[in-house]
């Protein structure tokens, strides 16, 4: 038994490709920090992304919130002592998830904003799904931390979104899409972005620091590192 580590609950499946990355990073980070054969105490629930994606397209965020709130409540019953929602876009319904549980909810945007601020930056570019880039929930929460967010133009947003849903969530990693993302990132930097947030948990599968002229903030890795710090506190 790992004394002093709280059990981390993971709401995954959006998509399972990035949920697998969450699980890998979480246990890798636990081993790096604690050494030996240590891994992270965790429980994972995988929702059906086809159902979630259909609710996204229909704009039924209320139903999506209920679905993820039920998943969170199930994790708490299973012993989770803090909970992560392993997706950027579905933080659109974070209030519904938080209301369903009595244990801490580790908000991905807050963790990412803290890392941006620690780097001394005030303006960042954001790559994510169309929902993340165009809705207010992400930008407003970043702005509340004092961080301004720039998003790609219409063509750039369409490209970034389509690669996520037509390739990355299906396990396809294409060199042409990596080159296209590099161009979008360079354009954001040219408009004044001091850094860029990989604001979709799948994007880390495609691009990283080597693909950007400015610092990259990988929301997946940041979320995991922040959660593990809390679990060990």
- Per residue in 16-35, pLDDT (tens digit) is 999 999 999 999 999 999 99
Q: Which domain holds residue 55?
A: 8-107+221-232
In a domain, 160, yes or no: yes
Q: Is 99 in the same domain as 12?
A: yes
User: Using one digit for the tens of pLDDT, what is the confidence trace for 205-226?
Assistant: 999 999 999 999 999 999 999 9
User: Using one digit for the tens of pLDDT, what is the confidence trace for 155-174?
Assistant: 999 999 999 999 999 999 99
CATH number assigned to the domain comprising residue 194: 3.40.50.1860
Cα 131 to Cα 71, 83, 85, 171, 200, distances in angstroms: 21, 22, 16, 21, 10
pLDDT at 2: 47
What SS3 class is residue 153?
Answer: coil
Q: Which residues are catalytic?
A: 87, 200
Which ranges constitute the DSSP H helices of the chain?
16-34, 49-58, 61-77, 94-99, 108-118, 130-134, 136-144, 154-166, 175-190, 219-232
Q: If you compute the radius of gyration of the chain from its CA atoms, what whole number of angstroms results?
A: 17
Q: Is 41 in the same domain as 121?
A: no
Q: Is 197 in the same domain as 99?
A: no
Return the number of other C-beta atoms located less than 10 Å from residue 56's C-beta.
20
Which ranges constitute the DSSP H helices of 151-197?
154-166, 175-190
């Amino acid at each position: 038994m790992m004394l002093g580590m709280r059990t981390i609950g993971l709401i995954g499946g959006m998509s399972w490709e990035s949920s697998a990355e969450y699980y890998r990073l979480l246990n890798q980070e636990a081993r790096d920090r604690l050494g030996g054969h240590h891994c992270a105490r965790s429980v994972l629930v995988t929702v059906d992304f086809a159902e979630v994606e259909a609710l996204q397209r229909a704009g039924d965020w209320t139903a999506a919130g209920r679905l993820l709130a039920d998943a969170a409540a199930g994790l708490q019953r299973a012993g989770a002592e803090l909970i992560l929602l392993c997706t950027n876009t579905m933080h659109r319904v974070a209030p519904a998830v938080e209301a369903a549980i009595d244990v801490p909810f580790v908000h991905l945007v807050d963790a990412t904003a803290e890392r941006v601020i620690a780097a001394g930056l005030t303006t960042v570019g954001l790559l994510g799904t169309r929902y993340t880039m165009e809705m207010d929930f992400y930008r407003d929460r970043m702005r509340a931390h004092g961080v301004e967010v720039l998003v790609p133009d219409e063509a750039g947003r369409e490209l970034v979104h389509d690669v996520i849903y037509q390739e990355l969530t299906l396990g396809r990693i294409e060199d042409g899409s990596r080159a296209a993302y590099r161009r979008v990132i360079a354009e954001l930097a040219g408009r004044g972005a001091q850094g860029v947030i990989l604001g979709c948990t799948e994007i880390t599968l495609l691009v990283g620091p080597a693909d950007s002229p400015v610092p990259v903030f990988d929301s997946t890795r940041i979320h995991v590192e922040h959660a593990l710090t809390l679990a060990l506190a």
